[in-house]
Structure 1
Amino acid sequence: MATKRSIFEEVDSGGKPAEAPRGGMIDARPRGARRAVRIWLMILFALVVVMIAVGGLTRLTDSGLSITEWAPVTGAIPPMNEAAWQAEFDKYRAIPEYQLQNKGMTLEEFQFIYWWEWGHRQLGRLIGLVWALGFVGFLVTRNIPPGWTGRLIGIGALGGLQGAIGWWMVSSGLTGTALDVASYRLATHLGLAFVILGLIAWWTFSLGRPDAQLMQARRSREAGLMRLGGWLVGLTFLQIILGALVAGIDAGRGYTDWPLMAGGFFPPYPFDIQPVWRNFFENDGLVQFMHRMSGYVLLAFGIFVFLRARRSPFTATRGAFGAMLGMMFVQMLLGIVTVVHAAPWHLAILHQFGAVVLWVLVLRARHQTAYPRAQSVRGATA
């Protein structure tokens, strides 16, 4: 005879309590080691920043052409005896920089600039090693978050491309009558470094929040402010490239008055190099003028975007654009001080580091417009 059931008993439960409902499909997906990958990317970011600083010091000490060959593997070993040092010195004495600028340099003086360039290249190898060990480790342990494998491979590929562009840059100063590397190649090299920094920073911001939260945040995007933020990123990058052109020809040391240039608004003889297009890369007055004007445009646009961002309902977005504008004023002040003091190395490096900070803050503000942080009625962010 069948046992009577209670009308309150769950059907097909066997008399057991019903299981608690499970999370949605987004939460059920494996997330990978988001925190560990983020820390790894932050380490890479710090190494690239150091690489940029060391590269700047290498240029300021005129050390970049001291190693005249590109040997990605064997070049990791420096000269180990007097004969090896002499062989490296003989190679350097065959290039225009020595013959036209450093003739009579001693072996000890050569060793000083050699060690700067060798250290610069070693740091590049270290960055590649840190990337490779981290990527392979996360790949083998299956800890790469879903959808992130291609992005992490891309960072490594860009790092390899950066090494090749570095040699392309150095090779431009080894022949002919050049005393330095070509400024446009230097700008390409530095520009790619900032692209790598920007990608790492953007992905670090994204990995700091769960995927579900990012997907939810996309619904609250402010399309107009996001477009303005994109233009701000582009103008900031342009200013960085123009700064690299200034550094490449030491244009920051030619006109040390401000706000005028040699007593006038426009520098003298801005188009005296033939053909005319070369002036935009090699004329120190015109290149510095472009960098100054671009800086004014960037600051004016930054103020405009900041004022627009003040109308954002999101506290974190308003704060991000406020930090960006504050750093923009600091960077402009650093640029003026650097110019009026004829760009000594410590101010030049500080100005370069300021560009890194500004770049990250601009990208952070843009990221906030793409993925605004939810907040309570009182304004506290989630």
Structure 2
Amino acid sequence: MTWVYDPLPAPSAFDARSWRTVPAVAVWLWTLAALVFLMVLVGGATRLTESGLSITQWKPLTGVIPPLSQADWQAEFENYKKIPQYAQIFPDMDLAGFKFIFFFEWSHRLLGRLIGLATFLPMVFFWAKGLLPPSLKPKLVGVLALGGLQGFVGWWMVKSGLVDRAEVAQERLALHLLLASVTFAILVWLAASLNSRPPAVAAPPRRLFGLALVFVVAALAQIGLGALVAGLRAGRAYNSWPLMDGRFFPPLDQLMAEAPLWRNFVDNLLTVQFQHRMAAYALLVFALAQALYTRVAAGRGAASRRAAALAVLVAAQAVIGITTLVLAVPLWAGLLHQGFAMIVLGMAAAHAQALNQER
């Protein structure tokens, strides 16, 4: 018998350096996820302080620089006085008060620009150096496109409050927050995929992955419903729990008081808050059922621990939500509630991604 030496093929440039480049890319992606998380919190503060309409123009480049002189500040203030919000909500506002709300919106827009740069410049560097896994490249381009779309939707949202309304349209606010949430979930997924290791035990049932994906979608839907509540300021109405205006289930004629019927789900304060409450209960039941089912189907292991942790996070979020409602949405509670929603979403995305790697 003749033995023929068949050497292994030389590794590609990426494979040869993957042990040190993938961690660097993962750190970058986790950093982007943290920045988007911060962006959501700043956006929440902007909404809760009624600051989102303080800048009435969209200047993608020159808008980086805030007013520098007293005359510039006065000109910005005069622009703000022309929109309905000033007359209807802040008719007694002085220049100092305007500077306060201007700061929140300016910070929010500045952070959005920084996230764009923090996405684009490192991506160009890693790409040019050949340090990106090939499968990651189109996904990163997609993330960059989502960021651009987010900026457009943000201005589209602001425009809705400059003419006939004293606040932005809640439907546009929900879309704006959902885009940020989807971007955050994708970044967590991609970052976690680079940190993942092959499972040391038998793979969990494939159906757990499908269940985890459905939970991610359910968490996103609940975030969207919460944005409708925020946009209508519905959290400052019906501030009792577990009853709403003395009832657990409000009368149907009140829930469906708007015409056409579909408007109730976006415009009726009672209905919007009620659907957010019911969806919260459903999400908690879903999380507990997923944790129990994962324990039965996969036994003791990483998948079960993640599912249990997710259920605990959802339960904590429910408590935070109830507290926020009963206190009529003080700034700290509103931000905690919004931030914790992103933590739940991030954990859900990480859990689904891990199951995807393990199956």
User: Normalised by the size of structure 2, how large is the TM-score?
Assistant: 0.92
- Which of residues 265, 279, 288 in structure 2 aligns to 1:294? 279
Counterpart residue number, 1:198: 185
Select which of 40, 43, 53 maps to 2:41: 53
Aligned 8 A contact 1:30 1:145 in 2: no
**How many angstroms apart in 2 are the aligned matches of 1:148 and 1:60?**
37
Larger relative CO (CA 8 A, sep 6+): 1 or 2? 2
Give the drift of 1:313: 4.2
Are 1:164 and 2:164 counterparts? Answer: no
SS at match of 2:255: coil
Distance 1:30 1:297 in 2: 48
In structure 2, C-alpha distance between the alignment counterparts of 1:23 and 1:225, rounded to whole Å: 37
Correspondences of 1:108-147 after superposition (within 5 Å):
108-147=96-135
Offset at residue 275 of structure 1 (A): 3.4
Counterpart Cα distance in 1 of 2:223 and 2:142: 22
Q: Given that residues 246 and 284 in structure 1 are in contact (C-alpha distance below 8 angstroms), is that contact kept between their aligned partners in structure 2?
A: yes
Q: Which amino acid aligns with 1:266?
A: F
The structure whose Rg is larger is: 1
Amino acid at match of 1:202: W
Q: 1:73-116, CA deviations, whole angstroms, 9 ceiling, x for partnerless residues?
A: 11111111122111111111110101222113111111111111
- Equivalents in 2 of 1:162, 1:247: separation in Å? 19
Gaps of 5+ in 1: 1-6, 13-17, 374-382
Out of 267, 270, 273, which is 1:285 matched to? 270
Q: CA deviation at 1:11?
A: 7.5
* 1:231 counterpart = 2:218: no
Given that 2:237 and 2:328 are in contact with CA atoms closer than 8 Å, whether structure 1 keeps it comes out as: yes
| Partner Cα separation in structure 1 for residue 105 and residue 250 of structure 2 | 34
Q: How much does 1:323 deviate?
A: 0.5
In terms of fraction of residues, the more helix-rich structure is: 2
Closer/same/farther in 2, CA of residues 295 and 11 from structure 1, 3 Å limit? closer
**Which stretches in structure 2 are left out of the alignment for 5+ residues?**
none
Could you tell me which of 348, 358, 362 is aligned with 2:348? 362
Distance 1:273 1:28, change over 3 A: closer
CA contact (8 A) 1:220 1:371 kept: no
Structure 1 runs (4+) deviating above 6 angstroms are: 23-28
Matched, 1:329 2:312: no
- Deviation string 1:204-232 (CA, Å, 9 cap, x unpaired) is 1110136xx48x99x93522222221221
TM (norm. structure 1) is: 0.87
Task: Say which SS state the counterpart of residue 358 (structure 2) adopts.
Answer: coil
Structure 2: which amino acid aligns with 1:353?
Answer: G
- Contact persistence 2:255–2:270 (CA under 8 A): yes
Contact 2:14 2:131 in 1 (8 A): no
1:341 corresponds to which residue?
327
> Which residue does the alignment assign to 1:276?
261
Aligned letter for 2:358?
A: P
* 1:133 shift after superposition: 1.5
Q: Of the candidates 83, 88, 91, which is equivalent to residue 100 of structure 1? A: 88
Q: Which residue of 1 aligns with 2:294?
A: 309
